[in-house]
Amino acid sequence: MKNISLKLSEEVYQETQGVLEWLEQSRNSYINEALAFYNAYQKRRRIEQQLAEESKLVREDSMAVLHEFESLEDEL
């Protein structure tokens, strides 16, 4: 395990303390779970962005092929 120093605003700290009391969970495990959740969220966002960019590239190629097929149909 790695140690980190973390500075929280008073509001976030107090809210976290309340949640910890309600969950009866240690601060360390709560922060680990929160960071794991946030990392997964960011990973999904990155994948969504990448898929959107790749879809745009494929769309452009697909439209070019479609236009070629349409021009072939017109020639027949």
Every domain of the chain and the residues it spans: 10-75
Tens-place pLDDT, residues 32-51:
999 999 999 999 999 999 99
Taking the whole predicted model, whether its pTM rises above 0.85 is answered as no
Query: How far is CA 74 from each of CA 10, 15, 68, 70, rounded to the nearest angstrom?
Result: 70, 68, 10, 6
What is the reported pLDDT for 49? Answer: 97
What is the reported pLDDT for 39? Answer: 98
CB 38 within 8 A of CB 46: no
Alpha carbon distance 68, 22 (integer Å):
64
CB 49 within 8 A of CB 35: no
Alpha carbon distance 74, 39 (integer Å):
52
CB 6 within 8 A of CB 35: no
